[in-house]
């Protein structure tokens, strides 16, 4: 890079004269570079900006520089190249960055000239600045030769230039990826300054290599602060207080760059810190350690700070009684909402205070700050004054807060109405004592809901509703009320009163005050716009058109003059007297037309006529074709054409052929006809046997004897007919009346069958019989056949001559034998009663069937329905198969039907027994199969024995016992009677009352016992006492009655005993003596 001298150019803009700008230039170190001044004037583009008034806190992020306009107080020299990320090597001033984060940058090149950026400031504080903290981010966006930024200062900072250059210059790097930013924070703290109020100072950054292709570098996030005094701030506290009393610290910054953040610290012994602007310190924790200095450091949005200290005085105090002379007074007991309420308290000896009141009001100050009220502030406020000896509570008088009227609503019965109708206004408000309405055309009322009034067009407008009370006035308005009248000035006009059909007719209307329009007219015409589009007329468009103009108040109509529709001739027709004529016939042309004034006919062979109905034409072959009639009037012409005329002749060259002329009956006879005709021709054939056909070449005829003879064809068109005949046709037949019969149709094998044939034939005839088992014969009536089963079937006789053969067949011959292959099968040889037995038979040649079996079983089905079996179904089943030749038998294997165990019983040894006795169960069952047994009963009792061992019973043994006998066919169940288990009496008690009594008093004995069966009782006791009553009759005691009494309860199962408590019987004193030692008289 080499050694370089640093230079700075200072530019001053003087705008003291309106619309004139004077710029002067001054170079630092200009003694060495005066010869460069001209170059600077010629090649340096200078961007000028006013100085920034520095008030102690400043920050610039350059995000507004993207359009090339330098922020206030900043200037640059050189050409602004736009925004970029360092990928371009074009020298000049750049706004480096991306998105919305930009910086102010420089890129030097050989042709860039002198470039720099400068921030200019004046001291806008009221004091001399003695210290500054300056920082920014040095950013490198393009990497080339390692050049960087050099910072210099001027004005009031000139003496700090060396320090600023060392701290705020940025060294670039030659290595790196252009387009990627490298950020290096730079900062300097300057002390010993003396910048007087109003004094100017600046900082300039230049590229440290004036030539070549340098790095792209920039300045971003520039910040300048007066250390710890960047803006005014005051602090205060609510002391002096005594220990245990709450107090508040407050701070008030007046800087521009909000929001502020706060950091409080207090005396070391208190441990106090806070980030609140105005911290509250509750009295409960306040001790003498809270006495001392509190410092708050305030930081603004530029990260500049200011600090201030306030001293709090906290003293200690002792008490003997709770606070006295405590009073609580509101500044007013009646206020309007939004009014200020001040609470005033007095107390002697108080340490802490607590106010509470409506709407969650609270305060810890004896005399809290005044506050703005709402209706929720109404009520009584309570002050509690507290010291170490206790609390004293007092209350204010009740405070009433009244709001101005609220919830105003003004409505009108309609927002749009017709003149002459009534309008009703309705108002509502909460808390109002008086009302007022005002509106259009001088309307007024002092009634909340005034009477309805009749409107006119001058009633249009907005109506205002006013509600008042002692605390104020509130107003609201209705929506816009619009009063309208019927549509006026309605007119209707047509574009012409005479129009040819197909011409355009335009309707136009005028109207004032209408909201919708409706046109109606001839031919169902309608439209819903004031001036509808022109329409193409039709014959039905003639007449008067009506315009109806409508609004919500009604409608007004107007009509046009009458419109006449003219048409080209209509209903034009052209007709022929006939569409097909024969040569020489007369042709008549007939025309019709409505509205025509002239006529013209044209047609084949140069035909023409000028009258509607021309004279008759005698036809020739040149008369064929279409004739046209043209009808004309002032609106044009209409044409009509006839159908096509055809001129015909009768058919010629008629021919008829039959092929062949000799054939056998059943052969096909083909008839062929032909004719020449210029028009449609029909054909008609007639012949022997009433033959007829309407086809020129009819389908082939399958001949019979009646088909012999001559056939005639007639060719016909509308001009006449011509005929032709075939040669005579001869028809022979194959043998007829051929029959074949048998002596019988059903025979048993071994019987004789006789075949008989008949036939009629005019020609030489031969015969042939064929039948089952390769039977054949050439005789019309052959000898009898001895039959076998192979003889069954149909026998065929064929009679043949030159025209063919005739075949006939006998009825089918059935040769029967006795039934064969008879089998009888049962579905199972062994099964259980109730199962289904299926019988299956297989038989050949049977016609009927008969099953017989045990228990009178009969069935006539080969495979009868299943049999629901019983033990009586056991045995052999026989199938008899029968036909006309005899019968055959088949039998099943023996069938055995078993049953579930039968005659099953379950018997207990007793149905009522005492607990502890043995219960014996006995079972019986009859079964032809292997059988198992099962007992089940109360208390989970089970056994697999037919007759199980006796059961030693308990009360749980009571109930029913179930006996189950099981074989392969199933189970049978029997149950015992319900077993009842009895016990000795239970719950036996014996009571004597009282247990201590005097001789001669009455003693009562009381017993209880529970038993489900008959029970008896026995009492015994001292002095041979006995009783058989549960509750004996009370008795008179003596000393012999003392002791224990026993109650015994008995039933058939045994006894239970209970004893009373011991009874004590006392006596009165006996043998009382009294002795005196002397008697004095």
- What is the pTM assigned to this prediction? 0.35
Asked whether the beta carbons of 467 and 533 are under 8 A apart, the reply is: no
SS3 296: strand
Read off the pLDDT of each residue in 454-474 and give the average, rounded to a whole number. 92
604 Cβ contact list (under 8 Å, min separation 6): 622, 623, 624, 625, 626, 627, 645
> Between 665 and 953, where is the model more confident?
953
According to DSSP, the residues that pair with 482 across neighbouring strands are 416
Read off the pLDDT of each residue in 998-1012 and give the average, rounded to a whole number. 92
CA angle at residue 375 from 371 to 381, to 5 degrees?
60
**Count of C-beta atoms within a 10 Å radius of residue 1030:** 17
pLDDT above 80 for 936: yes
pLDDT of residue 353: 86
pLDDT of residue 677: 84
pLDDT above 50 for 904: yes
Whose tokens are 């209880």? That residue is 1008
Ordered domains of the chain (ranges, CATH) = 9-225 (2.60.120.260), 233-315 (2.60.40.10), 324-402 (2.60.40.10), 406-484 (2.60.40.10), 488-566 (2.60.40.10), 570-647 (2.60.40.10), 649-728 (2.60.40.10), 736-815 (2.60.40.10), 817-898 (2.60.40.10), 902-982 (2.60.40.10), 986-1066 (2.60.40.10)
pLDDT above 70 for 1027: yes
Measure the CA–CA gap between 326 and 889, rounded to whole angstroms: 135
pLDDT above 80 for 943: yes
Tell me whether residue 16 is exposed, middle or buried, using C-beta atoms within 10 angstroms of its C-beta: 0 to 12, 13 to 18, 19 or more.
exposed
According to DSSP, the residues that pair with 794 across neighbouring strands are none
Tell me whether residue 309 is exposed, middle or buried, using C-beta atoms within 10 angstroms of its C-beta: 0 to 12, 13 to 18, 19 or more.
exposed
**Per residue in 733-759, pLDDT tens?**
888 889 999 988 988 888 899 999 999
pLDDT above 60 for 429: yes
Buried b (16+ CB within 10 A) or exposed e, 665-702: bebebebebbbebbeebbbbbebbeebebeebebeebe
**Per residue in 837-860, pLDDT tens?**
999 999 988 889 999 999 999 999
Buried b (16+ CB within 10 A) or exposed e, 540-570: ebbeebebbbbbebebbebebeebebbbbbe
**Count of C-beta atoms within a 10 Å radius of residue 87:** 12
Whose tokens are 């393009």? That residue is 142
Structure tokens at 70: 């330098």
pLDDT above 90 for 212: no
Q: How confident is the model at residue 1070 (pLDDT cuts 50, 70, 90)?
A: low
pLDDT of residue 969: 92
First CA to last CA distance, the chain: 162
Read off the pLDDT of each residue in 629-638 and give the average, rounded to a whole number. 89
pLDDT of residue 41: 30
Q: How confident is the model at residue 140 (pLDDT cuts 50, 70, 90)?
A: very high
> Between 49 and 796, where is the model more confident?
796
Asked whether the beta carbons of 863 and 895 are under 8 A apart, the reply is: no
> Between 675 and 207, where is the model more confident?
675
pLDDT above 80 for 32: no
pLDDT of residue 20: 30
Asked whether the beta carbons of 288 and 315 are under 8 A apart, the reply is: yes
Whose tokens are 């200019």? That residue is 120
Structure tokens at 377: 């502030």
Read off the pLDDT of each residue in 562-586 and give the average, rounded to a whole number. 88
pLDDT above 50 for 670: yes
> Between 835 and 6, where is the model more confident?
835
> Between 926 and 649, where is the model more confident?
926
Read off the pLDDT of each residue in 1027-1039 and give the average, rounded to a whole number. 93
Lowest mean pLDDT among 261-270, 279-288, 719-728, 1019-1028: 279-288
Structure tokens at 247: 């107090």
Measure the CA–CA gap between 481 and 416, rounded to whole angstroms: 6
Q: How confident is the model at residue 33 (pLDDT cuts 50, 70, 90)?
A: very low
Read off the pLDDT of each residue in 889-904 and give the average, rounded to a whole number. 91
Instruction: Give the strand pairing for 932-937 and 962-967.
Output: antiparallel
Element (H, E) at 668: strand 668-676
Instruction: Give the strand pairing for 498-500 and 564-566.
Output: parallel
Lowest mean pLDDT among 280-294, 483-497, 628-642, 765-779: 280-294
Read off the pLDDT of each residue in 205-230 and give the average, rounded to a whole number. 83
**Count of C-beta atoms within a 10 Å radius of residue 250:** 16
Distances (CA, A) of 221 to 58, 104, 218, 413: 10, 10, 10, 64
Structure tokens at 1065: 């019987």
> Between 32 and 867, where is the model more confident?
867
Q: What is the dihedral of CA 1006, 1010, 1012, 1014, to 10 degrees?
A: -30
| Percentage of residues in the chain having pLDDT higher than 90 | 58
Lowest mean pLDDT among 164-168, 334-338, 531-535, 647-651: 647-651
Read off the pLDDT of each residue in 760-780 and give the average, rounded to a whole number. 90
Q: What is the pLDDT of the chain when averaged over all its residues?
A: 87
pLDDT above 50 for 30: no
């Amino acid at each position: 890079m080499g050694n370089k001298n640093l230079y700075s150019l200072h530019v001053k803009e003087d705008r003291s004269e309106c619309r004139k700008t004077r710029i002067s230039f001054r170079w630092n170190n200009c003694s060495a570079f005066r010869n460069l001044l001209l170059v600077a004037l010629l090649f340096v583009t200078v961007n000028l900006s006013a100085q920034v008034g520095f008030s102690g806190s400043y920050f610039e992020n350059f995000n507004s520089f993207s359009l090339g306009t330098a922020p206030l107080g900043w200037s640059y020299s050189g050409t602004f190249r736009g925004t970029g990320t360092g990928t371009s090597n074009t020298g000049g001033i750049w706004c480096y960055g991306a998105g919305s984060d930009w910086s102010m940058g420089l890129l030097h090149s050989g042709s860039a000239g002198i470039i720099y950026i400068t921030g200019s400031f004046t001291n806008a504080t009221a004091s001399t600045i003695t210290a500054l903290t300056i920082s920014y981010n040095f950013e490198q966006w393009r990497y080339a030769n390692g050049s960087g930024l050099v910072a210099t200062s001027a004005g009031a900072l000139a003496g700090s230039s060396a320090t600023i250059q060392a701290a705020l210059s940025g060294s670039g790097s030659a290595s790196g990826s252009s387009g990627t930013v490298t950020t290096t924070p730079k900062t300097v703290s300057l002390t010993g300054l003396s910048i007087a109020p109003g004094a100017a100072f600046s900082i300039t950054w230049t590229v440290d290599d004036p030539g070549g292709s340098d790095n792209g570098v920039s300045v971003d996030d520039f910040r300048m602060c007066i250390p710890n005094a960047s803006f005014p701030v005051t602090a205060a506290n609510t002391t002096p207080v005594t220990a245990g009393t709450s107090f508040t610290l407050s701070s008030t910054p007046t800087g521009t760059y909000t929001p502020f953040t706060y950091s409080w610290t207090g005396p070391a012994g208190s441990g106090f810190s806070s980030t609140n602007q105005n911290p509250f310190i509750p009295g409960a924790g306040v001790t003498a350690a809270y006495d001392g200095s509190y410092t708050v450091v305030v930081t603004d949005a530029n990260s500049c700070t200011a600090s201030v200290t306030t001293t709090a005085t906290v003293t200690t105090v002792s008490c003997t009684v709770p606070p006295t002379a405590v009073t609580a007074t509101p500044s007013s007991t009646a206020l309007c909402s939004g009014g200020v309420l001040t609470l005033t308290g007095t107390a002697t000896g108080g340490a802490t205070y607590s106010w509470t009141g409506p709407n969650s009001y609270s305060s810890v100050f004896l005399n809290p700050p005044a506050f703005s009220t709402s209706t929720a502030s109404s009520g009584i406020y309570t002050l509690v004054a507290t010291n170490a000896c206790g609390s004293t509570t007092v209350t204010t008088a009740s405070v009433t807060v009244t709001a101005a009227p609220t919830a105003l609503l003004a409505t009108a019965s309609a927002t749009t109405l017709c003149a002459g109708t009534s309008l009703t206004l309705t108002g509502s408000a909460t808390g109002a004592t008086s009302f007022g309405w005002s509106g259009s055309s001088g309307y007024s009322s002092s009634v909340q809901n005034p009477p309805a009034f009749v409107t006119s067009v001058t009633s249009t407008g907005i109506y205002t509703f006013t509600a008042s009370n002692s605390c104020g006035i509130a107003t609201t308005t209705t929506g816009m009320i619009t009063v309208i009248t019927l549509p006026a000035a309605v007119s209707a006009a047509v574009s012409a009163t005479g129009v040819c059909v197909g011409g355009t007719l335009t309707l136009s209307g005028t109207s004032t005050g209408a909201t919708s329009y409706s046109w109606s007219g001839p031919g169902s015409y309608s439209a819903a716009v004031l001036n509808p589009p022109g329409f193409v007329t039709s014959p039905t468009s003639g007449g008067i058109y009506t315009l109806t103009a409508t609004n919500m108040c009604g409608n007004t109509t107007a009509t046009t003059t009458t419109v006449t529709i003219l048409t080209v001739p209509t209903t034009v027709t052209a007709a022929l007297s006939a569409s097909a004529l024969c040569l020489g016939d007369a042709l008549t042309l007939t025309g019709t037309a409505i509205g025509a004034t002239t006529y013209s006919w044209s047609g084949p062979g140069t035909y023409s006529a000028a009258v509607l109905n021309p004279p008759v034409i005698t036809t020739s072959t040149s008369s064929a074709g279409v004739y046209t009639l043209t009808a004309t009037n002032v609106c044009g012409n209409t044409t009509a054409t006839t159908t096509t005329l055809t001129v015909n002749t009768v058919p010629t060259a008629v021919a008829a052929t039959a092929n062949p002329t000799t054939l056998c009956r059943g052969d096909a006879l083909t008839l062929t006809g032909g004719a020449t005709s210029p028009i449609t021709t029909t054909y008609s054939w007639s012949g022997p046997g009433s033959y007829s056909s309407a086809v020129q070449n009819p389908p082939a005829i399958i001949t019979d004897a009646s088909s012999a003879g001559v056939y005639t064809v007639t060719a016909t068109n509308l001009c006449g007919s011509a005929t032709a005949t075939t040669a005579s046709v001869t028809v022979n037949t194959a043998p007829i009346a051929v029959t074949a019969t048998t002596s019988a149709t059903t025979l048993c094998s071994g019987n004789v069958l006789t075949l008989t044939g008949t036939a009629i034939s005019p020609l030489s005839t031969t015969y042939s019989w064929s039948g089952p088992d390769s039977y054949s014969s050439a005789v019309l009536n052959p000898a009898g056949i001895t039959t076998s089963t192979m003889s069954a079937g149909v026998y065929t006789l064929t009679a043949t001559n030159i025209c063919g053969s005739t075949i006939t067949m006998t009825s089918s011959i059935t040769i029967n034998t006795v039934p064969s292959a008879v089998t009888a099968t049962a579905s199972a040889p062994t099964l259980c009663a109730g199962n289904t037995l299926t019988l299956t038979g297989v038989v050949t040649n049977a016609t009927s069937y008969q099953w017989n079996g045990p228990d009178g079983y009969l069935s006539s089905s080969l495979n009868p329905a299943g049999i629901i079996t019983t033990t009586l179904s056991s045995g052999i089943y026989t199938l008899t198969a029968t036909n006309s030749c005899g019968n055959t038998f088949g039998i099943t294997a023996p069938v055995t039907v078993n049953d579930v165990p039968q005659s099953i019983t379950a018997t207990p040894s007793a149905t009522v027994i005492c607990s502890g006795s043995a219960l014996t169960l006995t079972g019986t069952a009859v079964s032809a199969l292997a059988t198992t047994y099962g007992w089940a009963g109360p208390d989970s009792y089970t056994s697999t024995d037919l007759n199980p061992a006796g059961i030693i019973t308990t009360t749980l043994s009571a109930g029913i016992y179930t006996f189950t006998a099981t074989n392969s066919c199933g189970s049978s169940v029997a149950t015992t009677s319900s077993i009842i288990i009895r016990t000795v009496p239970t719950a036996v008690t014996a009571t004597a009352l009282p247990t201590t009594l005097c001789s001669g008093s009455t003693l009562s004995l009381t017993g209880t016992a529970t038993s489900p069966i008959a029970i008896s009782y026995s009492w015994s006791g001292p002095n041979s006492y006995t009783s058989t009553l549960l509750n004996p009759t009370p008795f008179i005691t003596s000393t012999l009655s003392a002791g224990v009494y026993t109650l015994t309860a008995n039933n058939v199962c045994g006894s239970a005993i209970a004893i009373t408590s011991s009874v004590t019987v006392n006596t009165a004193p006996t043998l009382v003596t009294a002795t005196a030692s002397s008697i004095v008289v």
